Amino acid sequence: MSAALLLEQLLNGLQLGVMLFLMAAGLTLIFGVMGLINLAHGSLYMVGAFACAMIASATGSFWIGLAASLVAAAAAGAIVEVLVIRRLYQRDHLDQVLATFALILIFSEGTRWLFGSFPLYLDIPPLLQGAVPLPGGGQYQLYRLAVIGVGVVVAAGLYLLISRTRLGMRIRAGESDREMIAALGVDISTLYTVVFALGAALAGLAGALVGALQSVQVGMGEPVLILAFVVIVIGGIGSIKGALFGAVLVGVVDTMGRFLLPQALSLMLPASQANLVGAALASMLIYIVMALILAIRPSGLFSAQS
Amino acid sequence: MADPVLEIRDLRKSFGALKATDGVSLTLLPGEIHALIGPNGAGKSTLIHQISGALKPDGGTIRFLGQDIGGLGMAARARLGLARSFQTSSLAQEFSALRNVMLAVQAKQGSSLRFFRPVMRDKSLTEPAMAMLERVGLAARAQVPAAELSHGERRQLEIAIALALGPKAFLLDEPMAGMGPEGSKSLTRFLDDLRREAPILLVEHDMDAVFALADRISVLVYGRIIATGKVDEIRNDPEVRRAYLGDAA
Amino acid sequence: MTRETFANALLALLLLAVPIAASYMGEPFYVTLATRIAVLALAAVGLNIALGLGGLVSFGHAAFFGLGGYAAGVLATHAFNAEPLLFGIASTTSMPVIWLVAIVVCGLVALPIGAVSLRTAGVYFIMITLAFAQMIYYFAVSWPAYGGEDGLSIYVRNTFPGLNTAQPLPFFLICYVLLLLGLLLFRFLRDSRFGAALQAARQNATRLAAVGIPPFKIRLVAFAISAMVTGLAGALFADLNRFASPSMLSWHMSGELIVLIVLGGIGRQFGPVAGAMLFVLLEYVLGGITERWQFFLGLILLGVVLFARGGLIGLLAGRARHG
């Protein structure tokens, strides 16, 4: 095993982590401010990917497609918030789970209706095609590096938004005291719509970015959604910092586990068996990590409540 | 002097910079009503929470019937015989008054891992529970869901649940709160008799009730006990008058 | 007889009469449909113990449904290939043994999952149960010995002494009787001391602890029993389809089980039966009209959640009463 290969896997893990962060940040923000668990977040990821693929193929420009993904996901988020989600803030978690589960069915089947069951493909834009040399002699896809860069920029942007701007101040106030913020004269229902649309836009962005690496298809958001749940459970629900930490942890542990476990086991087992057991164990690894973290800290590492 | 039923020594609890419980020591003796008074925010409820096991203290010991109960959870302390009532009623809202009390009867009888016999047809549960409701004067309302009881009735129900546990000590957190003058009077008479069953640590704002009932009074101010003594001693303690009762009293 | 008892009896009779009539009219398809209803209802009866009585929103019960299914599939495969199981024990195609294995396995898996998950509450509990179910799902998919992504076929339906299980009607009757037993168990649990403690834990866990009953222990036992019933249903489901598929373990399945309960009426004894009837009929009727029936299922579900919380039993029999 070469150092270059290891570095490549580490970068892959980081890239997965960045994607998860984009998803988890929205989820955790929506939970922190509105107290809502949103299963349909993966659908907004899918909306972003489809919008990007469709517009990119119509215009020939990935960048216009990317912009469209943000707009489409934010719009879909805002519409859903106004029509459905705002009726759920005062309901218990079971109702939220059910209603957003229903939204998944509607979004998934609706998308299948519009686009058919075949996956769409999205090309990596020419500007970001090609690879960069890694220290140690390997090569790494430029596009994946750019995705990591986007994640860093978004994390920094979110930090600035929440700590420095008026909207961020309202979000923080909304997290700590919903009645106070209403008393301050902030239009709370607009604030909630904005926060929901912001989370949706982040999910849509993630979907569009990943769309160029994988295929764009119905159901693509669900595995990511569940990983994002693991992320925010590990990080502490409501904490953006926790989401960032959890996302990178899950991304790296998952990727490195799939890479290293079969190799580590091959020291003890015959190669075919090592691959098999290693792959099976690796697929469970992050859940085991989650269980261990929760056994020690039941409300996550950066819980806002504790 | 008899051994104390409950003995708290040097209990400490902070929330950030706020010392909610700052080295509290007190005892509850057999047969007595020991009243804990103090201004709002003095840390009375925090203290009750620590004794009952709802909050974990930062330091100090709590001994109950000679045993250190600091490491036990709320349910384990209740099983030892420490019954509490809540400042704001805490009931199983959908259950009738009777079923709320039956839960306590069932807990007292032992394991709840019994899966087959229907509780409503189990006279060993319904009869003692009904008797407790009769004792607190709530028998006529036995079938009403807790959520539909009046405020005063919910306070009575809390007492009935505590009684049903047949405890070795009561922790009553403002049992008179929100009761009318009639209710307070009859509850005062009730508690006066109750001390013969088990000693009571009574947190209460109603000073008439406290002076009528208490064998001893402890005054809690800013997380510290500034005085403990008989009713007259507390009435005449200059520090208490300054800190709490107000000099005009 | 209260309205609810009457509604329950009606549902039970209906579910029995239709497949018997269909069988005599030579329409085995409807027998299979009724079997599907009975099995899904049994799975939801299991979940209803945790969710309805205990208020534990487990979004991972597909794990137990699927484990039960795989128990049936794995035993059948070993028996079919005449391969012994671990330690040289011969496998079997006898349903009662398979059921027992499914129940025991699910109980043993539910205890550690419950022990970790029940340390948390609310949204955390929902997400953690979901995550554990996903873990088992990915394990099943990535472990090729028992079919991996392709699932595991059961070439000949497992056997039951004295009955020809390959015939639709006898197999339906087996499932129906087990459903009735499951419903009976639910009723016993609900009305027992354990049920009183469990329902109190849902309403007010602090109150339960204050009388000396530890909520954690009660919930853990409930979670395990709930998993065992759902696991039994999983074994039946695999035999019904002659196939143990990873989709039984998927989170959609977990969601559907919750949906069944809510459609029927949460915490109600026959809620899962009403819900499963409604669900399977919707699947069949809507599925006959349009390929996109899940779109409309989503709309209906949304409507029920937002506007009709009592479910079908609530509609038929009014609000729930506690003695």
A274 touches chain C (CB under 8 A): no
Q: How far is CA A185 from the centre of its chain?
A: 33
Helix-helix angle A62-83:A188-211, to 10 degrees: 140
Report the pLDDT averaged over residues C34-38.
Answer: 97
Which tens digit of pLDDT belongs to each residue from B20-51? 899 999 999 999 999 999 888 888 989 999 99
In a domain, B86, yes or no: no
Sheet holding B82-85, edge to edge: B82-85, B169-173, B200-203, B33-37, B216-221, B224-229
Would you state the pLDDT for residue A116? 85
In a domain, B1, yes or no: no
- DSSP letter assigned to residue C59: S
**Cα–Cα distance measured from residue C21 to residue C172, given in angstroms and rounded to the nearest whole number:** 13
With contact defined as beta carbons under 8 Å apart, do C31 and C22 qualify?
Answer: yes
**Cα–Cα distance measured from residue A263 to residue A242, given in angstroms and rounded to the nearest whole number:** 31
With contact defined as beta carbons under 8 Å apart, do C179 and C41 qualify?
Answer: yes
Same domain, yes or no: B67 and B171: yes
**Cα–Cα distance measured from residue C125 to residue C179, given in angstroms and rounded to the nearest whole number:** 28
In a domain, A239, yes or no: no
Comparing CA positions, the residue from A69, A25, A42 lying closest to residue A195 is A25
Sequence-distant (6+) residues with CB within 8 A of B47 are B11, B21, B24, B36, B220
* Number of residues that make up chain B: 249
* Number of residues that make up chain A: 306
* CATH code at position B52: 3.40.50.300
Nearest CB to C213; choose among B99, B112, B119: B112
Q: Count of domains in chain A?
A: 1
The mean pLDDT value of chain C amounts to 91
pLDDT at B3 over 90: no
Inspect the interface and report whether the beta carbons of C131 and A230 lie closer than 8 Å.
yes
Residue from C211, C221, C319 to probe the interface with B (highest B Cβ count within 10 Å): C211
Smallest CA–CA separation between A42 and chain C, in Å? Answer: 13
With contact defined as beta carbons under 8 Å apart, do C209 and C25 qualify?
Answer: no
User: A189-210 in b/e burial notation, b at 16+ Cβ within 10 A?
Assistant: eebbbbbbbbbbbbbbbbbbbb
The mean pLDDT value of chain B amounts to 89
* Domain boundaries, given as residue ranges, for chain C: 39-275
Sequence-distant (6+) residues with CB within 8 A of A153 are none
Inspect the interface and report whether the beta carbons of A105 and C132 lie closer than 8 Å.
no
With contact defined as beta carbons under 8 Å apart, do C91 and C78 qualify?
Answer: yes
More confident call, B149 vs C315: B149
Express as a percent the part of chain B with pLDDT over 70.
97
Smallest CA–CA separation between C104 and chain B, in Å? Answer: 18
Which tens digit of pLDDT belongs to each residue from B197-207? 999 999 988 88
Q: Which residues of A touch C262 (CB under 8 A)?
A: 94, 98
3-state secondary structure of A90: coil
- ipTM entry: 0.89
Would you state the pLDDT for residue C206? 92
Same domain, yes or no: B107 and B73: no
Q: Which residues of C touch A43 (CB under 8 A)?
A: none
Tally C-beta pairs within 8 A across A and C: 116
pLDDT at C24 over 70: yes
Range of the domain at B132: 91-153
Same domain, yes or no: B177 and B75: yes
Sign of CA dihedral C198, C202, C207, C209: positive
Per-position DSSP letters for chain B, written without gaps between them: -PPPSEEEEEEEEEETTEEEEEEEEEEE-TT-EEEEE--TTSSHHHHHHHHHTSS--SEEEEEETTEE-TT--HHHHHHHTEEEE-SS----TTSBHHHHHHHHHHHHHS-----SS-GGG-HHHHHHHHHHHHHTT-GGGTTSBGGGS-HHHHHHHHHHHHHHT--SEEEEE-TTTT--HHHHHHHHHHHHHHTTTS-EEEE-S-HHHHHHH-SEEEEEETTEEEEEE-HHHHHH-HHHIIIII-TT-
Sign of CA dihedral A107, A109, A111, A113: negative
- DSSP letter assigned to residue A123: P
**Cα–Cα distance measured from residue A240 to residue A230, given in angstroms and rounded to the nearest whole number:** 14
Q: Which residues pair with B227 in a beta bridge?
A: B219
Nearest CB to C192; choose among B54, B78, B115: B115
Helices (H), chain C: 3-24, 28-48, 62-80, 95-117, 122-142, 168-191, 193-203, 205-210, 215-241, 251-264, 271-289, 293-307, 311-317
B72 touches chain C (CB under 8 A): no
**Cα–Cα distance measured from residue B38 to residue A284, given in angstroms and rounded to the nearest whole number:** 55
Sequence-distant (6+) residues with CB within 8 A of C93 are C75, C76, C79, C80, C156, C158, C159
Give pLDDT tens digits along chain A (306 positions). Answer: 577 888 889 999 999 999 999 999 999 989 888 889 999 999 999 999 999 999 999 998 999 999 999 999 999 999 999 999 999 988 888 999 999 999 999 999 999 999 888 888 888 888 888 888 877 777 888 899 999 999 899 989 988 888 888 878 777 776 666 666 666 666 788 888 999 999 999 999 999 999 988 889 998 988 899 899 999 989 988 888 899 999 999 999 999 998 888 888 888 888 778 888 888 888 889 988 988 888 788 888 887 543
Cα atoms in the Cβ-side hemisphere of radius 13 Å centred on C144: 8
With contact defined as beta carbons under 8 Å apart, do C223 and C57 qualify?
Answer: no
Q: Which residues pair with B22 in a beta bridge?
A: B12
Would you state the pLDDT for residue C184? 96
Structure tokens at A58: 């119509």
In a domain, A238, yes or no: no
What residue in C sits closest to A38 (Cα-Cα)? C123
Same domain, yes or no: B125 and B173: no
- Hey, which residues 224-243 in chain A have their CB within 8 Å of chain C? 226, 229-230, 232-233, 237
A295 touches chain C (CB under 8 A): yes
Strand spans (E) along chain A: 131-133, 139-141
Q: Count of domains in chain B?
A: 2
Smallest CA–CA separation between C195 and chain B, in Å? Answer: 7
Which tens digit of pLDDT belongs to each residue from B64-108? 999 999 889 999 999 999 999 888 888 999 999 999 999 999 999
Cα C94 to Cα A38, C152, C162: the distances in Å are: 43, 18, 11
Sequence-distant (6+) residues with CB within 8 A of A94 are C51, C57, C258, C262, C266
Structure tokens at C210: 């204050």
Range of the domain at A91: 3-219
With contact defined as beta carbons under 8 Å apart, do C260 and C242 qualify?
Answer: no
pLDDT at B249 over 60: no
Q: Which residues of A touch C135 (CB under 8 A)?
A: 283-284, 287-288
Sign of CA dihedral A252, A258, A259, A261: positive
Inspect the interface and report whether the beta carbons of C302 and A106 lie closer than 8 Å.
yes
Structure tokens at A5: 């290969």
In a domain, A286, yes or no: no
Q: Which residues of C touch A98 (CB under 8 A)?
A: 258-259, 262, 301, 305
**Cα–Cα distance measured from residue C213 to residue B18, given in angstroms and rounded to the nearest whole number:** 32
Would you state the pLDDT for residue C45? 97
Q: How many helices (H) and strands (E) does chain A have?
A: 11, 2
Inspect the interface and report whether the beta carbons of A280 and C130 lie closer than 8 Å.
no
With contact defined as beta carbons under 8 Å apart, do A45 and A225 qualify?
Answer: yes
Would you state the pLDDT for residue A305? 47
Query: CA triplet A36, C274, A113: central angle to 5 degrees?
Result: 60
